[in-house]
Structure 1
Amino acid sequence: MAPNRLSFEQRKLILKWYWKSENVCDVQRQWRREFTTEPPTRLTIARIRDKFEAEGTVQNMHKNRSGRRRSSTGEENAALVLQAFTQSPQKSVRHTARETGTSRASVYRILKTAPKWKSFLPQLLHSLSEDDSRRRVEFCEWIQGKVNEDKQFVDKIVWSNEATFKLNGTVNRYNCVYRSLENPKSQVDKEDNVPGLTVWCGVSSKGIVGPFFFEGTATDAGYFNMLQSSIVPTIHQLYGDKKVYYQQDGAPPHFHSDIRDCLDTNFPGRWIGRTGNVDYPPLSPDLTPLDFYLWGNLKNTVYAKKPSTLQELRHEIEWSCTAIPALICPKVCRSVFRRCQQCLDAKGGQFEHAVYDSEQCDKPLFH
């Protein structure tokens, strides 16, 4: 390989050989005869020639270092770069370097050393239509109206959803926001047909309902059987004769007529969902505790144990649900009221990207 840095004498020799024939290949052959090492690349030879034509010298004037001149990161140049990003925060480093006449390496150094400047990745969100926003506003106004009538209203809602856990530890980014004390810095290869489990869970102020497991994927028949045999009896066991609201999203398995009849029978006038007594807005994972809180924390804990079989995976899911502190669930459920106000402030639009929750209920579930 060619040396990383060329001495001044070597650069003079290269220029001398080049002017004799004006042929880069001749220069490389002469180098091999002279030094018996791999010659500089064609690009390096061309740069030495261009430097001499532009500056009249091949001497490296910057810290006795040959190669590309390191551009300035002084205060004046740094201010110019930061001003460019202030005016256009989404501008690329390459574009900024070209616009300010600064090398890309210097732009990176300026951003790295500038106080309080950080790079942020956008959060992927579903685009909301005007009708989606309207339905979100209506739901949030309904929640707030109920809370104004009964301060304990959110304690009477059982929130529910399904999620899939894979043996390879892949997190479905649609279903949850991934939170952890530290960045796991993990990489997951995409694999097809990986074994996994589909899990139903409920979250209420009285604790976790479930988990209950589907045989294969979630279907309307499987969900109907689960409602009758597991979900409804467990909710009645938790709440007794108290009137409870049951929430589900608009997933296709939830829409079967038998399921709606079952909910009408067990939660008359008190179930939230697609065509339910109260409409649950689509594309709203930021308003249900399972999506904005439980699934991400649950997967963080389960995948940390690296289960290798479906039996181990199921055991870790069940154990992680029982390990949730009793005081967490009420705080998570009551945070829905605050989120509804944030949604209303955003006129039904997305709001999580602009809000940082520092309260206790947004800290990790597991200690």
Structure 2
Amino acid sequence: MAERTSFSNEEYADILFYYGAARGNAEQARREYGEIFPNRRLPDARVFSRTFRRMRERGTVVRYQGDAGRPRLEVGDDEEEILNHFQIDPTLSTRMIARRMGRSQWKVWYTLHENDLHPYHYTPVQAIEEGDPFRRMQFCRFLLNADVEDRNYLKRILWTDESKFDKDGITNYHNAHYWSVRVMGNPHLKRQKGSQRRFNLNVWMGIIHNRLIGPHFLPQNLNGVEYESFLRNVFHELMEDMPLETRQNMIFMHDGCPAHFRLAVRSWLDQHFPDRWIGRGGPIPWPARSPDITPMDFFVWGRMKSLVYATDVPVPNIEDLRNRIINAAQEIQSELTDSRVVKTGVVRRARACNRNNGGHFENEL
């Protein structure tokens, strides 16, 4: 057998010792190893995990090239170059690197596998700008304090939002990966994404406690004039089935998109919901770029799109899409009977937001 080794037996023994002392934390083991042996060549963190894996699986720290059966792929000098690519940008695809280097995709996969790198999915999240975390924490603290003072406060909020649906359905993130050392666990990487997308139908809906309001179909490109017209002429019709007491004590919520910020819209809300509406420029300010706090985003739209696009067959026409949305709303309403998903979800997310100082928190839920 051809043997290939990079360190002495003494060095490998110390590598295993400090990897065990660090309880499998390769980065910590590397730091402690470097402090104890400042005059030695400092191994990469991956060497610690690879050495341990070889000892556990094969009973030896030495790397071998098998001479029987299917020959193992010889990575050679390409290994360092491949690893450097993913160290610079861990979101790269194996196909892209294989094409860039003029090598097979299998060779890239093999190199990553041998170095204990694993592809983890990242979570797309809304971009957060400077000053947003503080405002998000303020709002979440307000919600939690209001819930303590009045146990029915969150049940009185009518959360509203608009979302666009097209014929193709949900974006598939199956091939979106982040390469990281397996022993370190899933890093729960997040990637920012935009929130505005073009679809064929623009849908308005609301949810208050365990009641779904809508759907109502808005113009595809909503502006302030059309939104004001919706509030004045359609909104009360959608609320007719709600008890009078609920309508009288209801707190209206919408986000801060430009159509919602129109002066006439805010004046209408001040008139119909005095000191009882949440939004940009309202008596209760809505923190910008915070869809992760509203149940319309973390519950209604996700559930609705999973129902609308339950099959892989594209929606054939706009009427079929409309019917799918209506049917999905009816199914969601049946699921909401005696449900506490809204209040429980909002409280849980408000607490998580505060724990993360107003930053992203969905990867921890």
* Superposition TM-score, scaled by structure 2 size: 0.61
CA distance in 1, matches of 2:200, 2:91: 41
Report the secondary structure of 1:304's partner residue. Answer: coil
Sort the Cα spacing of 1:286 and 1:329 in 2 relative to 1 into closer, same or farther, 3 A. farther
CA distance in 2, matches of 1:61, 1:349: 49
Unaligned runs of 5+ in 2: 1-64, 76-83, 95-103, 174-196
CA distance in 1, matches of 2:234, 2:355: 38
CA distance in 2, matches of 1:93, 1:282: 33
Report the secondary structure of 2:275's partner residue. Answer: coil
Q: Which residue of 2 aligns with 1:290?
A: 296
Q: Which residue of 1 aligns with 2:144?
A: 144
Report the secondary structure of 2:284's partner residue. Answer: coil
Which residue among 200, 225, 228 is the counterpart of 1:224? 228
Tell me, yes or no, if the aligned pair for 1:208 and 1:329 is still in contact at 8 Å. Answer: no
Q: What's the % identity of the aligned pairs?
A: 28
Report the secondary structure of 2:120's partner residue. Answer: coil
Sort the Cα spacing of 1:268 and 1:221 in 2 relative to 1 into closer, same or farther, 3 A. same
Count of residue pairs brought into register by the alignment: 263
Tell me, yes or no, if the aligned pair for 2:210 and 2:338 is still in contact at 8 Å. Answer: no
Report the secondary structure of 2:121's partner residue. Answer: coil
CA distance in 1, matches of 2:282, 2:91: 46
Task: Report the Cα offset of residue 65 of structure 1.
Answer: 6.4
Tell me, yes or no, if the aligned pair for 1:207 and 1:329 is still in contact at 8 Å. Answer: no
Report the secondary structure of 1:208's partner residue. Answer: strand
* Superposition TM-score, scaled by structure 1 size: 0.60
Which residue among 321, 335, 340 is the counterpart of 1:330? 340
1:224 partner letter? E
In the alignment, is residue 158 of structure 1 matched against residue 158 of structure 2?
yes
Unaligned runs of 5+ in 1: 1-59, 73-83, 95-102, 174-192, 358-367
1:62 partner letter? D
Report the secondary structure of 1:120's partner residue. Answer: strand
Tell me, yes or no, if the aligned pair for 2:210 and 2:342 is still in contact at 8 Å. Answer: no
Which residue among 343, 351, 361 is the counterpart of 2:353? 343
Task: Report the Cα offset of residue 93 of structure 1.
Answer: 9.7
Task: Report the Cα offset of residue 70 of structure 1.
Answer: 2.5
Once the two structures are superposed, what CA deviation does each residue of 1:7-46 show, in whole Å capped at 9, x if it has no partner?
xxxxxxxxxxxxxxxxxxxxxxxxxxxxxxxxxxxxxxxx
Which residue among 245, 252, 257 is the counterpart of 2:258? 252
CA distance in 1, matches of 2:224, 2:308: 27
Report the secondary structure of 1:292's partner residue. Answer: helix
Sort the Cα spacing of 1:206 and 1:124 in 2 relative to 1 into closer, same or farther, 3 A. closer
2:298 partner letter? F
2:158 partner letter? V
Tell me, yes or no, if the aligned pair for 1:93 and 1:108 is still in contact at 8 Å. Answer: no
Q: Map residues 111-126 of structure 1 onto 2, 5 A cutoff.
A: 118-126=118-126
Q: Map residues 69-84 of structure 1 onto 2, 5 A cutoff.
A: 70-71=73-74
Sort the Cα spacing of 1:135 and 1:195 in 2 relative to 1 into closer, same or farther, 3 A. closer
In proportion to residue count, which structure has more strand? 2
Task: Report the Cα offset of residue 168 of structure 1.
Answer: 2.9
Task: Report the Cα offset of residue 283 of structure 1.
Answer: 0.8
Tell me, yes or no, if the aligned pair for 1:166 and 1:197 is still in contact at 8 Å. Answer: yes
Sort the Cα spacing of 1:315 and 1:105 in 2 relative to 1 into closer, same or farther, 3 A. closer
1:246 partner letter? F
Q: Which residue of 2 aligns with 1:211?
A: 215
In the alignment, is residue 299 of structure 1 matched against residue 302 of structure 2?
no
Report the secondary structure of 2:252's partner residue. Answer: strand
Q: Which residue of 1 aligns with 2:68?
A: 63
